[in-house]
Chains A and B, each alone.
Chain A
Amino acid sequence: MKALGALLLALATGLVHAHKPSDSYLTLHADGATLSGQWDIALRDLEFAIGLDANGDGAITWGELRARHADVAAYALARLTVKADDRPCRLAPAAHLVDEHSDGAYAVLRFEARCEARSYRALAIEYRLFFDLDPTHRGLLRIEHPGGTAAGVLGPDRPRFGLQLGAVSRLAQFLDYGREGVWHIWIGFDHVLFLLSLLLPAVLAASGRAWRPVAGFGPAFWDVFKVVTSFTVAHSITLSIAALGVVELPSRLVESAIALSVTLAALNNLWPLVYRRRWVVAFGFGLVHGFGFASVLADLGLPQDALLVALVGFNLGVEVGQLAIVSAFLPLAYALRATWFYRRVVFAGGSAAIVLLAGVWLVERALDLKLLTS
């Protein structure tokens, strides 16, 4: 004890904290429902916490670290919570690397945080790594988000870090959902085929039980306008009431009804029952398609504080996608309307093919079978 008492005097505070204390470097890229993260954790600290030097020779090799990758990820990720709008995200390791910092080698754990909310206004981080072993440990956090970069120092007294993504992300949110809407109409074959089935006859006029080319562009345009508008109004109504949770329908019923709508619309081209009032058909079945869009929106996750932004954004996205299809279709169909190719191959053949495909969908969806691999 006396010897130690003497050494005390050797204390020269400036010289004592001669070495960098324990830090980890945590970076999160917050852009969308899945955040990607990188966590640099000193091998010295991991050694102290879980033991890496398997053969006890005082050196940690890549092989020794590699053998413990699963343990490193489990240990670290269990001590981190990421929440988007108060809902925890699931953390999963993505890659294991190493890096050198100024004070030695670090394990680099790349991971993903999968959040329920597709879009969110608030991110919260709760950090608990090593605090039980070393209360002077700090987590140096950096969050890169569309509105900029945020940084914080996390310690036992301040283990939480909250970030309001705020106004900047409102527009981003809107555009994000808009993009999803466009994307969905483009990859949603059933919606596209339904629309096409109703549009194919727009450049033709029903004459008895047969179709003839229309005389001018005007009538064709107005016909398309009526069909598209009523389809849009109808699916907007049901999309909204479903997204707001006013009405909920079983998705199997909705999907089957959509397939049925496609089948009937195409059949009507082959054996016309309805011509002038196709917009009524578009409206009626549009109501069904709206429920289909709503289930996609639900899968994306709706931000509770920005429901309207998401809803309007998604819906407008769907309309933009639709308009793109229509504006590509109409001039082409109009130019080709008098040809044998259009009337026989595109119109009759296309409709028949749609009937066939939609019929298969109908059976699949109604009976919960898998006939086609998509």
Chain B
Amino acid sequence: MTRLRPLLALLLAGNVAAVAAAPYAPKDDAAVLERLPSRPGDPVAAELRALRAAVAAGPGDAAAAARLARAYFDLALAQGDARYVGYAEAALRPWRDSSGAPTEVLVVQGLLRQYRHDFEGALGLLARAAARDPGSVAARAWSAAIHMVRADYARARQECEALVPIASELLAAGCAAYVDATTGRAGAAYQRLAAELARHPEASPGLKLWVQTRLAEMAGRLGDAAGAERHFRAALGFGLEDNFLLAAYADFLLEHARAAEVLPLLKERARSDTLLLRLALAAKALELPEAPQHIRVLGERFAAAALRGERLHMGEEARYLLDLRGDARGALAVAAENWKSQREPRDAAVLLEAALAAREPQAAAPALEWLEASGLEHPRLRRVATELKALAR
């Protein structure tokens, strides 16, 4: 499958629209109400059309349905748009009970499960897929990613080792480096991964983008801001649309008091909640007049999610409460809840910072234990941890 083409230029003109107080009838027929994320002429739309046509032509064709669902899922990752996850689920509906589902369907079902934070269910499906098709790179790689989110580093490492014989060298190396960098061996992991990247110029842009993003994060944690900047620039240079990359780079810029650079990076991306959060943080740091507007819209989105009865982005919500609303106690409650299911460095960061702001070091105990056990190199987190411990005494 070809990589999805860049959509950056075609994205929604997502200037945060003024929220109207009441329904209205526009006066002008030419008034633009909504900009679509893709246009019929662009390659992604064409690819999706072809995949949809294939599914329509063969309703029982599992391979076609899995390809379509996968394309939608990738689009959800690229754009940060959850609607595509729903479309992916619809494509896989015929195999809903999953007992008779073919391997490729199992894999995508696993991805959709993890999206709903059913990590146990997702790992089960991916394990079945891997057992049936030992060469399934996707099943192994995603299992590793889920173990990382749950801070189960031993099992993550096992999955990375299982990738060595079946995946490309760069991918297997990236997987191992990802685990090492989170468990106290960031320096060596960085060196190895950088060398591996240099040895594989032929790797796909998508893989290289991912490696560059991880290298940037590692360099940042190792205190090499210039190196991190270089890797982020290289990753952005591929021109691929990647919500995760933009968020990571925005975080880096915010941490280094470069909020002004966040604005041009994200101003067209306010559709994505995660990116709107960074945009609001930047606007607030710069004391821009649009900051309250961003904060209000973000609050409305969390309220809308709560109305659905879903709290899938608690990490972001905690960050919003802490940094944008100044609600340390509220942020702490959400961050503590989030930590129960998600344990990546950024989840620890918001929990530790919220506990410090609320002056409740006890609430951060699980994250402090994790920080000790993992051995993560992360100067900022270590500083907060030290302050928390001082507070506890």
Contacts and interface: CB of A to CB of B under 8 A. Distances in A.
Interface residues on B, range: 35 or more
B145 interface: yes
Contact of B39 (A38, A58, A134): A58
A190 to B, nearest CB: 45
A151 to B, nearest CB: 8
B22 A134 contact: no
B321 interface: no
A138 interface: yes
B313 A18 contact: yes
Interface in A1-24: 1-23
B373 interface: no
A92 interface: no
A98 B33 contact: yes
A314 to B, nearest CB: 37
B213 interface: yes
Interface in A86-118: 96-105, 108, 110
Given A13-B117, A18-B243, A8 B138 contact: yes
B1 A136 contact: no
B272 A19 contact: yes
Interface residues of A, number: 62
A56 B301 contact: no
A12 to B, nearest CB: 6
Contact of A61 (B33, B114, B203, B310): B33
A12 B137 contact: no
A47 interface: yes
A53 B34 CA distance: 10
A9 B342 contact: no
A17 B82 contact: yes
Interface of A is mostly: mixed
A44 B34 contact: yes
Interface in B35-79: 35-36, 38-41, 70, 74, 76-77, 79
A62 B35 contact: no
B279 to A, nearest CB: 12
B282 interface: no
A65 B31 CA distance: 10
Interface in B324-371: 338, 342, 344, 346-347
B275 interface: yes
Given A1-B1, A2-B167, A58-B38, A20 B33 contact: no
Interface centre among A16, A18, A100, A153 (most CB of B within 10 A): A18
Contacts of B188: none
Given A62-B26, A63-B30, A136-B89, A5 B141 contact: yes
A201 to B, nearest CB: 59
Nearest to A66: B29
Interface string B172-215: 00110010000000000000000000000001111100110110
B30 A62 contact: yes
Interface string A48-89: 100001001111111101100000000000000000000000
Nearest to A13: B149
A2 B274 contact: no
B311 to A, nearest CB: 10
A247 B244 CA distance: 75
B286 interface: no
Contacts of B142: 8, 11
Interface in B64-120: 70, 74, 76-77, 79-83, 85-87, 89-90, 93, 111, 114-115, 117
B237 interface: no
Nearest to A65: B33
Contacts of B141: 5-6, 8-9
Nearest to A96: B25
A134 B83 CA distance: 8
| Pairs of residues from A and B, 8 with the lowest C-beta to C-beta distance, nearest first | A18-B80, A63-B29, A134-B86, A3-B204, A58-B39, A136-B86, A102-B300, A97-B23
20 contacts: A2-B204, A2-B207, A4-B206, A14-B338, A14-B347, A18-B274, A21-B85, A48-B87, A58-B35, A58-B36, A58-B40, A62-B28, A62-B29, A62-B31, A103-B301, A133-B90, A135-B86, A135-B89, A136-B86, A140-B308
